[in-house]
Chains A and B, each alone.
Chain A
Amino acid sequence: MSEQERIQRPKATRDRDDVVDVRTEASRGDQLKADLDDLLDEIDDVLEENAEEFVRNYIQKGGQ
């Protein structure tokens, strides 16, 4: 798989059935919230575990 294909891979498939159910019934607002919940689940999976250390150690020298 190329780098680009990996980057553009579809969102996580977890809870797909639930999402479909919600989408058939719900208003746009509910759907937006469901989409965001899925996204936040995915962020939980990939977000740096030790956020504090990660943020503290990200130090750059200034550039242009």
Chain B
Amino acid sequence: MALPKVVGIETEFGIRGGPDGDPVTSSTLVVTAYARRMAAPIAWDFDDESPGRDARDLVAGPSYAPVIETHLANAVLPNGARFYVDHAHPEYSSPECRTPLQAVLYDQAGENVLRRAMLEANAELAPAQHIGIYKNNSDGKGNSYGCHENYLVRRDVAFRDLVAAMVPHFVSRQVVVGAGKVGAELEYTRAAQPAFQLSQRAEFFEEVVGLETTLRRPIINTRDEPHGDPSRFRRLHVIIGDANLSPVASAVKLGATALLLAALEDEGLAAFPPPPRDPVAALRSVALDPTMATTIELESGVMWTAWDVQDCLWHLASDYAARTGAEAVAEPDEVAYLLGQWREMLDGVRDDPDAVADRVDWVAKRRIVDGYRARYDLAPTDARLQAIDLQYHDLDPARSLAARVGLRALHETADIARAVTSPPASTRAFFRGQCVARYPDDVVAANWDSVVFDLGTGPLHKVPTADPLRGTAALTADLFAHAPHARDLLAALEG
């Protein structure tokens, strides 16, 4: 049986402005301004982090020791998310969610967190120093930062099968869920002089499989850090995605990937299309051609477009859902919605892009870029077109272009606002979020798989949360209801 597809999104945001223009200073200001609103900012516990462990069981080099960044700002939020400074970016890591639509809700809650944090920070800055925050993946000058997805996968699925199944999807899914980019920013892509690419991220990938995330980025990342019981769980850490402004695109990005992973777990590799012969070259050539006519050679020798690969994968996922119900991914209604949107967007990008400009980010962006260029007869390299690209991703409502192009909403405004402070009920994020909300003075640290209490006397108490599917509201709401103080909770857990 496929494991429930616990999913989450972690986003590094672009940032500009601030008192000295240094992105580390600005990111720290933003995170601390937000954390100040909480009763007690809570530290991150790095004990169980192992970003250097490799899923291929390779021995990692000495440079991969866990980095202890205790000097950087960090907050654990009452919705179970982590909001912190990573490298030189503010990062929001959503809580663990039980379905793709729920993960989109918490991703949008993250946008609210960043907007609020930006307002709080700017309230204390002169207008000329105001900070701007961007949900994008590159600066147009060759620097990229990620929007990573995480999926719970059975440990006993062979890693080479995961690679074989997912490479065709990760190379081709940009035709539906790419966020689009004006121009190109690396030497080899600039040589092609593209006016527009499907993806923000594609040109930054140089390997098929690897452990790195900041250099020589791989299509499949092998970081083996399950944040849970390593004998049962794997966390597939997907680093290739674009940050989506369209919530429906986010849902299809997560839903399609989760369905394919569940199909792999339940039915194996047989129905998956073969990987491209040269996945990195295929990824780049697909991104560089918004007409989507480019074909790529698969290992079987056939020449397919990225659209053909997605069509094949859609049928695989749809057949799997019809046979099994795909309960590992979501309830039947949600599975039907995810498959339906994936299909409509796939048909739309080929047959009628205008019909999906309200859902496909790259189509929505390209429509205004091309329209603006035509209106003022601009060269493809005009700075105004690059400004449109950047401002599409601006989180400031007064400047955001994504907020103006008519993207279809997915969740109610009130539900998104509630998700800023209220954790998902059906994963361990519920336990973490409730601990932070109820006992802010007693929780000294938290991690994906533990919460650490300091009751003021005696040793610290570490409560492990090694199973992402426990610590749910169903299992712990009663416990919390009868535990007005942290000591009551710990007594009940240890009793």
Contacts and interface: CB of A to CB of B under 8 A. Distances in A.
B112 A63 contact: no
A57 B134 CA distance: 14
Interface in A1-59: 2-8, 11, 32, 36, 39-40, 42-43, 46-48, 51-52, 54-59
A43 B145 contact: no
A63 B139 CA distance: 11
Interface residues of A, number: 30
B112 to A, nearest CB: 7
Interface in B215-256: 239
A63 B383 contact: no
A4 B213 CA distance: 33
Nearest to B390: A58
Identify the interface centre among B86, B112, B404: most chain A CB within 10 Å of its CB: B404
Contacts of B397: 3, 6-7
Contacts, number: 117
Interface residues of B, number: 53
A39 B383 CA distance: 19
A55 B390 contact: yes
B112 A59 contact: no
Interface stretch (B271-279, B334-342, B409-417): B409-417
Contacts of A11: 404, 406
A6 B138 CA distance: 26
| Secondary structure type dominating chain B contacts | mixed
Contact of A58 (B87, B89, B140): B140
Identify the interface centre among A52, A54, A59, A61: most chain B CB within 10 Å of its CB: A61
B15 to A, nearest CB: 8
A51 B213 contact: no
B413 A5 contact: yes
A61 B387 contact: no
B143 A61 contact: yes
A16 B15 CA distance: 36
Nearest to A62: B143
A57 B387 CA distance: 11
Contact of B417 (A2, A54, A62): A2
Interface in B110-163: 112, 115-116, 134, 138-141, 143-146, 148
B4 interface: no
Interface string B399-431: 111011110010001001100000000000000
| Secondary structure type dominating chain A contacts | helix
A8 to B, nearest CB: 7
Nearest to B237: A64
A46 to B, nearest CB: 6
Nearest to A57: B16
Contacts of A43: 368, 372, 388, 401, 404
Contacts of B138: 60
Given A3-B116, A64-B146, A48 B387 contact: yes
B343 interface: no
B403 A8 contact: yes
Interface in B273-314: none
Identify the interface centre among A32, A39, A48, A58: most chain B CB within 10 Å of its CB: A58
B371 interface: yes
Nearest to A35: B406
Interface in B372-389: 372, 375, 382-384, 386-388
6 contacts: A3-B397, A6-B397, A39-B368, A39-B405, A59-B139, A61-B88
Interface of A: 2-8, 11, 32, 36, 39-40, 42-43, 46-48, 51-52, 54-64
Interface of B: 12, 14-16, 23-24, 86-89, 112, 115-116, 134, 138-141, 143-146, 148, 213-214, 239, 354, 367-368, 371-372, 375, 382-384, 386-388, 390-391, 397-401, 403-406, 409, 413, 416-417
